[in-house]
Structure 1
Amino acid sequence: MAGVRVAKDLFLWSMSVIYLFAFGSLYVQLPGLFGDNGILPARLVVKPAANSWGELLDDHPTLLRLTPKLGLSTQSAMDLLCLAGIVTSFMCMVFKGLRDTVSFIVLWMLYLSLYHAGQTFLWFQWDILLLETGFLAILVAPLNLNVFGLRSSSYHHHDNITMWLVKWLLFRLMFASGVVKLTSKCPTWWGLTALVYHFETQCIPTPAAWFWSQFPTWLLKLSVVITYFIEIPLPFLFFAPVRCLRLFAFWMQVLLQVLIMITGNYNFFNLLTIVLCFSLLDDELFFRKKASGAKTKRSLIWTILRIISNVVFPLAVFAFSGFFLVKLFGLHFEKDYTIQSNIQFDYQKFTEWLKFIMPYTMWLGVLSLGYEIFISVLRSLKEEKSQVQKVWSLLKVVVFGAVAVGMFSISLVSLNVIEGESYWRLPSTVRIWHKRVESFELTSSYGLFRVMTGVGGRPEVIIEGRNRLNGEWKEYEFLYKPGNVSRAPPIVAPHQPRLDWQLWFAALGNYQNNPWFLNLIYRLLTGQKEVLDLIAHNPFPSAPPKYMRATLYHYHFTKDQPDYDGYTTEDWWTRTKHMEYLPELMVQDETFVSYLKSANIIQEGRPPEPSTIFGSILDFIRAQIGGTEGFTFVMSLFGLGIAIQMLNGLFF
């Protein structure tokens, strides 16, 4: 079995970069989102200073409960944690020797601390995925510890075990993402028309999304079929005994993520998924073995077995997959050279299949993990020279094997959420332990694009203000989300503009279910600079408006053919007014003020936060960076890191 040294190095370097993107993107938004004058001040949710480890780890553990001992306000403390994350991840990216267990523990603790203070602006699946992957990076990274004079190495026999955990996470992510599309009963996923709406209704589309949306319906339906294939049956090939099948699964997963990145701005999520795909690689892909004389003398039986495993078996798998794709989705050619498709099974048959396959899925994980542990034990006994080294290596395999078994066990709870009967068949002990570690985000359930939104038109909340009762309403233009119909969709990933994202979610509901929206309106009515820095155009630069309202519009991409409604050569979008989202408000409105006081957004007589030299330094750094645009900031950090690596020849 091939080693995973290069895959491990790629994984750890890439995780350093992902952390850099995550911390850098968040840092420029902290004041407007979580500052004392932000939309959701973090000081309102962070508990008082912890005086013991028990208090620190209670409920939602965060290092922010230690920073009062440094004389820092919650806002300055978040700056400190974020800057520490930027510096640590940047150093890990540039210097291979720093990519060890200690560094990744620090990065994970810092991001977990910010996550628990981030409220709705940090409760995204990619933040949770980063925390789970980040914890696995702690296990994958070398400890660089010398014991009894034994040599310290960056590579160990248990590396295959820890990288297997990364592979298992990738499997859970992709398999669940495919299954929930069908268990949701969403008519667009069942009708294979989801992509007809997806490109214009996703949160922040790219310019390429406009062109993709112009594709004919039959091609978009076929793309949904391919998506199902990549997400549901293909992940089982992650554990295939034949290497070429694992590589095929790798390239198909990467292809899907690249296509998503081309058409949508999903911050670091797609990059993180590709990083998980590195667990499917081995050293043979990077270092071809030289032919030896011994190989030419192998028996005819050995040659036949190799042909069967490397040629016949893969062809059989592809033929089997192709047959069932045609059968299950009714694929057939038409006379006009199009490929038509329609799902040939119903919800009941799918749920029956899911009940059937879930136990085998768990057993596949058990056997695959057991095999990795067994092989690692054999390697420890065979490849280490001295008895002391054998025992030390074997001890590490046992320890990491036990940790892997524990991680795998609690992850079954997250996996089986998609199928109720399998979930309740799990041992109660496993569910109890999953609940105990839930606040650490060690394992989570996933299910992206469960339901296709905006089928009747992409909903967008447009915020307007005016200074006189009968004056002209002026629109606020946000940095990235659609507003001005003539403005091209942006390219902003790997930066995540969290306010723009939440406004997309807010448009899917109402302001009553998104109370933070009222906080945003208040900050705009009072002209709060920290919040205005998150907005592209403030139509009231001299003084804030006296009145504000929000209107819900439906947006559609324009068409590229004159025969269609919405054809234009000037605009990217068309929009129609749908309904009032928020009635006209004044800052003196009694009901409005009453809500703000109950939410502690307005606090009369609140004492000023303490100021220390340490806090002044953090304020100075913040002032130097200023209201930097997020994409520019994170790409500048990344570019600087790459330049340093190129100069020093330290890529891995």
Structure 2
Amino acid sequence: MQENGGGGQRGGEKEGAEDERVAIQGRKDCRSHAASLLLRLVGFSYLVAFTSVFLQAPGLYADLADRGGDQELSAGVLVEAEARKPWDVSFFHDHVWNVLLSLFLVCWVLYQSIFLVGQTFLSFQWDIFLLEVGGLVLLFAPLTSYGSRRGPTQLSALCLHFCLFKIMLMSGVVKVQARCPTWMGLTALHYHYASQCIPTPLSWFAHQLPNFIQKLSVVGTFIIEIPAAFLILLPFRQARVWAAWLNIFLMVCIMLTGNYTFFNLLTATVCLSLLDDASFSWRWKKRTRRDKRPSRTPSKGLQNTTSVLHSEQFLKSLHELEGREWSLRSCTKSFMEVAFTEEEMDQWIETSLFWCIPMFFAHFLGQAVREAAQVYTTSRSILRRCWRFGNLMIVFVFGSMYLFASLEPLSSIAPATRKLFLPFVPSLSSRAQAWRLTSGYGLFRRMTGVGQKTQVLPNSGGKAIPVVARPELELQGSDDGTNWKPLEFKFKPAGLLLGSASWLARHFLGDAPAATRLAALGSYQYNPWLLVLIYRLLEGSDATRSLLATELWPKEWSAGSPPRAIRIIKFEYDFVRQEQAKSGKW
């Protein structure tokens, strides 16, 4: 009887230990599915980026390597040895396996190298954002395989939260600080769909929306990018979930109506760091009751204290400034208008950041203490405890460096936050920005394509607004100097070719068309690559011809004989209005 009782006692202890391990395992696994999806989508973004470079490289770099303005590569860059090789297609064939790689460190180093060489064609904000997110994913991804039952540390997720907060807040604030009349007048979307770098077929339909929907869309953009961005920093799960879905919704809308390659997908991917598996209960329902129990660690009180302070100060700031700065006045003539000024916006941002940044840093420190306590209480062996604690220290040190380095670009929209700088922040930030580990952003700072003439549109509320004047460059070739025929880029929606390219091509192969669209905003002196492009086309370079839609060329040019003369003409375009399309008068 005693032996059986002892066996039953040992069996009960064994079951209790198994239950404890299941509970700990459940807490570890509460973010594993969402984190795994995030890592796979970041890997897909790398796939898109490498594929885009590989397919366009022969025309962009092999013959345009001497386009002028090349910067000297600094020592220690991986690509330095490769840059000394001749610029030919074999260089990119050597790196074709990058398309298949899933090693984030290798992908980050190689894309950093290509970015330093790419310059004009890889200087877009989506390239910079990929490098910043790719650096943070090195902390977020587990050292072992994705199938590991332990998800990423919350510390690494907090770094991604701050990255998302920075890009969304800066993108919204610069629209106000730039004093663009279209943003402050809530008419920016009257021009955006037609004047963006590469529209999609859905852009035309969005351009036809009534005036009040266009203005409401601008208001929604302001709300999501500025006040709702602070929800990302709050320690409350429900606030983060709302912030995630709002930003994902905005990114999907932008993706459907414009081509920004992988930028919107990558931004929506970072939003997944705000979610856990409970946010996808319709997809992953494997949760136990113990998953919902909070872990009891010595630092739980410290974390709760910093969370409450963070939330109270933030909500107090919003409450004091909400009525004065975020109201919209109704107007019978213009439907609605902004009721705050640029100066009031600057004051609100500086006050909010002055409270939120220290509280977020305190929350980060409290989370580090909590996770250190979890490592100590849940690791049974000394070796395992040292291994996990070492990993945590790596994330804490590099994560802290990232947060401090990100203060410098964030201070560009709120100079008062420089008072929070420690002495080492400027030098640390300059080094981090040199490697694109942190950057500043300013998407759609000013709306382009605003014409000089005005007209009253049927859905503009009876108010005269400037017409859309999208600047566009068109290459034209001729053999006699009299008859000129267009030389269009592949995947570029210009003229009557808006629907000629496939959806995938438009969204993943937009470097050359986007560079041409941006060149239309300046002069050729600041875009020497255009002169090199024309020179190579006149020479009959096959690599450069691969960038153009040669299937639309005359037979003699398609056969290999280049045109004798090439010129660049600047046009101003607008979408056909629905009323004009029906009447045929356009």
TM-score, normalised via structure 2 length: 0.80
Residue 46 of structure 1 and its aligned partner are, at CA, apart by 7.7
State the distance in 2 between where 1:287 and 1:375 align: 27
* Structure-1 residue corresponding to 2:81: 65
Per-residue CA distance 1:139-175 (angstroms, 9 max, x = gap): 2222239xxxxxx983558621112211111111111
Residue 288 of structure 1 and its aligned partner are, at CA, apart by 6.0
* Structure-1 residue corresponding to 2:135: 135
State the distance in 1 between where 2:494 and 2:507 align: 21
Cα 1:455–1:42 change in 2 (3 A) is closer
1:502 to 507, 515, 538: 515
1:198 aligns with 2:198: no
Q: Is the 8 A contact 1:67 1:77 kept in 2?
A: no
Cα 1:220–1:267 change in 2 (3 A) is same
Per-residue CA distance 1:15-46 (angstroms, 9 max, x = gap): 111111110111011110000xx234499948
Q: Secondary structure at the match of 2:574?
A: strand
AA at the equivalent of 2:577: K
1:526 aligns with 2:539: yes
AA at the equivalent of 1:529: D
Residue 424 of structure 1 and its aligned partner are, at CA, apart by 6.6
Q: Is the 8 A contact 1:203 1:481 kept in 2?
A: no
Residue correspondence of structure 1 range 405-554 to structure 2 within 5 A: 405-423=400-418, 426-456=421-451, 457-469=469-481, 471-485=482-496, 487-488=498-499, 490=501, 491=503, 492-536=505-549, 537-539=552-554, 540-542=557-559, 543-554=561-572
State the distance in 1 between where 2:343 and 2:139 align: 41
State the distance in 2 between where 1:558 and 1:458 align: 12
AA at the equivalent of 2:544: V
Residue 570 of structure 1 and its aligned partner are, at CA, apart by 7.3
Q: Is the 8 A contact 1:4 1:160 kept in 2?
A: no
* Structure-2 residue corresponding to 1:605: none
Cα 1:329–1:478 change in 2 (3 A) is farther
State the distance in 1 between where 2:434 and 2:235 align: 36
State the distance in 1 between where 2:323 and 2:563 align: 58
* Structure-2 residue corresponding to 1:380: 375
Q: Is the 8 A contact 1:358 1:422 kept in 2?
A: yes
1:247 aligns with 2:272: no
AA at the equivalent of 1:124: F
Cα 1:291–1:361 change in 2 (3 A) is closer
AA at the equivalent of 1:480: F
TM-score, normalised via structure 1 length: 0.72
AA at the equivalent of 1:538: W
Cα 1:289–1:8 change in 2 (3 A) is closer
Cα 1:44–1:87 change in 2 (3 A) is farther
* Structure-2 residue corresponding to 1:342: 337
Per-residue CA distance 1:409-436 (angstroms, 9 max, x = gap): 1111122122234347523411112223
169-178 vs 4-13, greater mean Cα deviation: 4-13
Residue 208 of structure 1 and its aligned partner are, at CA, apart by 0.7
539-548 vs 482-491, greater mean Cα deviation: 482-491
72-81 vs 474-483, greater mean Cα deviation: 72-81
User: Aligned-residue CA RMSD in angstroms?
Assistant: 3.2
* Structure-1 residue corresponding to 2:326: 328
Q: Is the 8 A contact 1:413 1:430 kept in 2?
A: yes
Q: Is the 8 A contact 1:174 1:235 kept in 2?
A: yes
Q: Is the 8 A contact 2:184 2:338 kept in 1?
A: yes
Q: Secondary structure at the match of 2:570?
A: strand
State the distance in 1 between where 2:243 and 2:512 align: 35
5+ unaligned residues in a row in structure 2: which ranges?
A: 1-26, 294-306, 452-468
Residue 278 of structure 1 and its aligned partner are, at CA, apart by 0.9
Q: Is the 8 A contact 1:182 1:347 kept in 2?
A: yes
State the distance in 2 between where 1:221 and 1:551 align: 34
Residue 353 of structure 1 and its aligned partner are, at CA, apart by 1.7
Residue 463 of structure 1 and its aligned partner are, at CA, apart by 1.4
Cα 1:204–1:246 change in 2 (3 A) is same
AA at the equivalent of 2:123: W
Q: Secondary structure at the match of 1:134?
A: helix
Cα 1:560–1:76 change in 2 (3 A) is closer
State the distance in 1 between where 2:409 and 2:324 align: 31
* Structure-2 residue corresponding to 1:225: 219
State the distance in 2 between where 1:569 and 1:525 align: 42
Cα 1:288–1:331 change in 2 (3 A) is farther
State the distance in 1 between where 2:340 and 2:434 align: 39
AA at the equivalent of 1:31: P
State the distance in 1 between where 2:325 and 2:153 align: 41
Cα 1:527–1:371 change in 2 (3 A) is same
Q: How many residues align?
A: 510
Cα 1:77–1:412 change in 2 (3 A) is farther
5+ unaligned residues in a row in structure 1: which ranges?
A: 49-54, 93-102, 146-151, 296-308, 575-652
Residue 133 of structure 1 and its aligned partner are, at CA, apart by 0.9
Q: Is the 8 A contact 1:479 1:534 kept in 2?
A: yes
State the distance in 1 between where 2:68 and 2:419 align: 39
Q: Secondary structure at the match of 1:459?
A: strand
Q: Secondary structure at the match of 1:342?
A: strand
Residue 123 of structure 1 and its aligned partner are, at CA, apart by 0.6
Residue 371 of structure 1 and its aligned partner are, at CA, apart by 2.8
Query: Once superposed, which parts of structure 1, at least 4 consecutive aligned residues long, lie more than 6 Å away?
Result: none
State the distance in 2 between where 1:155 and 1:405 align: 26
1:56 aligns with 2:75: yes
Cα 1:559–1:248 change in 2 (3 A) is same
State the distance in 2 between where 1:375 and 1:210 align: 52
Residue 128 of structure 1 and its aligned partner are, at CA, apart by 0.7
State the distance in 2 between where 1:87 and 1:460 align: 36
AA at the equivalent of 2:197: C
What percent of counterpart residues are identical?
Answer: 32
Q: Secondary structure at the match of 1:509?
A: coil
Cα 1:66–1:488 change in 2 (3 A) is closer
Residue 117 of structure 1 and its aligned partner are, at CA, apart by 0.6
Residue 439 of structure 1 and its aligned partner are, at CA, apart by 2.6
AA at the equivalent of 1:409: F
* Structure-1 residue corresponding to 2:15: none
Residue 87 of structure 1 and its aligned partner are, at CA, apart by 2.4
* Structure-1 residue corresponding to 2:578: 560
Per-residue CA distance 1:179-198 (angstroms, 9 max, x = gap): 11111111111111100100
State the distance in 2 between where 1:325 and 1:453 align: 32
1:85 aligns with 2:79: no
* Structure-2 residue corresponding to 1:236: 230
State the distance in 2 between where 1:403 and 1:354 align: 27
Residue correspondence of structure 1 range 157-176 to structure 2 within 5 A: 159-176=153-170
1:184 aligns with 2:178: yes
Q: Is the 8 A contact 2:32 2:152 kept in 1?
A: no
Residue correspondence of structure 1 range 111-150 to structure 2 within 5 A: 111-144=111-144
1:106 aligns with 2:106: yes
AA at the equivalent of 1:134: G
AA at the equivalent of 1:375: R
Residue 247 of structure 1 and its aligned partner are, at CA, apart by 1.2
State the distance in 2 between where 1:331 and 1:385 align: 62
* Structure-1 residue corresponding to 2:55: 28
1:394 aligns with 2:389: yes
Q: Secondary structure at the match of 1:535?
A: coil
Q: Is the 8 A contact 1:20 1:86 kept in 2?
A: yes
Cα 1:548–1:395 change in 2 (3 A) is closer
Cα 1:477–1:158 change in 2 (3 A) is closer
1:39 aligns with 2:64: yes
Residue 129 of structure 1 and its aligned partner are, at CA, apart by 0.7
Residue correspondence of structure 1 range 306-317 to structure 2 within 5 A: none
158-167 vs 103-112, greater mean Cα deviation: 158-167
Residue 373 of structure 1 and its aligned partner are, at CA, apart by 1.0
